[in-house]
Amino acid sequence: DSGVTQTPKHLITATGQRVTLRCSPRSGDLSVYWYQQSLDQGLQFLIQYYNGEERAKGNILERFSAQQFPDLHSELNLSSLELGDSALYFCASSPGGLAGPTDTQYFGPGTRLTVL
């Protein structure tokens, strides 16, 4: 158990809908990262937050957004969902936001999103 929790574990929805995925980082970790894992694209970095502020952006679509709250939990919002958005969404956390050499990421169990 990494100490990172994600809810829900599974989510099934229809095209065009909007969903919110939730992540609670390990106790004491200030950074949260979101990743998308699909069969054809592998593990894709989406976005990183540090202590409430956006720190780095990866291949995140404009239809997707995220935020980190004062209690450090984070939410990933996916809107106007398409079939191709079906994937595993992982959250990871790390202690620091300056991402020093020893700032290792620990992953949650993921949310499996199925868009029908």
Partner 1 sequence: GEDVEQSLFLSVREGDSSVINCTYTDSSSTYLYWYKQEPGAGLQLLTYIFSNMDMKQDQRLTVLLNKKDKHLSLRIADTQTGDSAIYFCAEKTGGFKTIFGAGTRLFVKA
Per CB under 8 A, residues contacting partner 1 are: 2, 4, 35, 42-43, 45, 56, 90, 92, 98-110
Q: DSSP for 63-81, please give it.
A: TEEEEE-TTS-EEEEE-S-
Q: Do the Cβ atoms of 93 and 4 come closer than 8 Å?
A: yes
Q: How far is the CB of 16 from partner 1 (least distance, A)?
A: 27
Please say which residue, 5 or 79, places its beta carbon nearer to partner 1.
5
Name the residue nearer to partner 1 (CB basis): 70 or 101.
101
Q: Which is nearer to partner 1, 15 or 104 (CB)?
A: 104
Please, which residue, 27 or 102, has the CB nearer to partner 1? 102
> At closest approach, how far in Å is the CB of 111 from partner 1?
10
Collapsing DSSP states into helix, strand and coil, what is residue 48? strand
Amino acid found at 2: S
Structure tokens at 50: 């540090």
The least CB distance from residue 69 to partner 1, in Å, is 21
Q: CA 63, CA 82: separation in Å to the nearest integer?
A: 10
